[in-house]
C-alpha cells in the first residue's frame, strides 16, 4: 500500500487517458520495476495497480529551443523535478528525488551549445547517423 501511495503522490510520469482515468508510474527501487497506478477521473480512487513490465520510464529525449530567450531545454525524461542545480553560469540541470537527470537548461544556447546545428549518432549494431539544421 505504501508503494501505491508514493506513486500517487510523487509519480515519475503521469498520463491522462481519453476516458479521464489517470495513469501514474513510479520506479520501485527495491524491486527494480515500475509500478503503474490507475486512478479514476476524480484523481483519488485507485482503479488498478500493477507492475508494468513494458514501461521504460517515460524516456523520450526532447530538445526545445526558445528563440526569444536563446535558451535550449533538453528533456531526458518526464520524471518530476525535485531540485535544480547550477552547473555553470549558463547551464542548469534538473534532477528527480533519486538524483537521476531529468532535464538540462542551456542559456545563451547559440554560443554555449553551437545551436542551431544538432548532430545525433546512435552507436550499436546498426549505426544511424543524422545531422540537421534547426529550423527557425
The whole-number pLDDT of residue 47 equals 96
Rounded Cα distance between 66 and 69, Å, is: 6
The whole-number pLDDT of residue 96 equals 86
From first to last of its 136 residues, what are the pLDDT tens digits of the chain?
899 999 999 998 888 888 999 999 998 988 888 999 999 999 999 999 999 988 876 666 788 888 899 999 998 887 778 899 999 999 999 998 888 888 999 999 888 877 666 666 766 654 444 444 444 4
Rounded Cα distance between 26 and 56, Å, is: 11
Is-contact 41 22, C-beta < 8 A? yes
The whole-number pLDDT of residue 129 equals 41
Rounded Cα distance between 11 and 29, Å, is: 13
The whole-number pLDDT of residue 38 equals 96
Q: Domain-by-domain residue ranges, the chain?
A: 2-51, 59-113
Cell of 127: 549505426
What stretches of the chain show up as alpha helix (H) in DSSP? 2-9, 109-112
Sheet of strand 71-75, all strands in order from the earlier edge strand to the far edge? 62-66, 71-75, 101-107, 91-95, 83-88
CA distances 13 to 1, 75, 92, 127, Å, are 19, 13, 21, 30
Question: Which residues have C-beta within 8 Å of that of residue 63, sequence separation ≥ 6?
Answer: 72, 73, 74, 75, 118
The whole-number pLDDT of residue 118 equals 66
**116 has which bridge partners?**
none
The whole-number pLDDT of residue 79 equals 76
* 62-66 and 91-95 beta bridge pairing: unpaired
Amino acid at each position: 500500500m505504501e508503494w501505491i501511495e508514493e506513486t500517487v503522490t510523487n509519480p515519475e510520469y503521469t498520463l491522462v487517458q481519453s476516458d479521464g482515468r489517470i495513469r501514474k508510474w513510479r520506479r520501485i527501487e527495491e524491486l527494480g520495476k515500475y509500478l503503474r497506478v490507475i486512478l479514476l477521473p476524480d484523481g483519488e480512487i485507485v482503479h488498478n495497480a500493477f507492475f508494468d513490465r513494458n514501461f521504460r520510464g517515460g524516456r523520450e529525449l526532447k530538445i526545445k529551443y526558445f528563440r526569444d530567450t536563446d535558451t535550449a531545454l533538453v528533456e531526458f525524461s518526464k520524471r518530476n523535478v525535485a531540485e535544480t542545480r547550477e552547473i555553470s553560469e549558463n547551464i542548469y540541470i534538473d534532477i528527480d528525488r533519486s538524483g537521476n537527470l531529468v532535464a538540462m537548461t542551456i542559456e545563451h544556447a547559440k554560443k554555449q551549445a553551437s545551436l542551431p546545428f544538432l548532430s545525433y549518432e546512435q552507436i550499436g549494431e546498426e549505426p544511424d547517423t543524422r545531422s540537421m539544421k534547426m529550423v527557425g
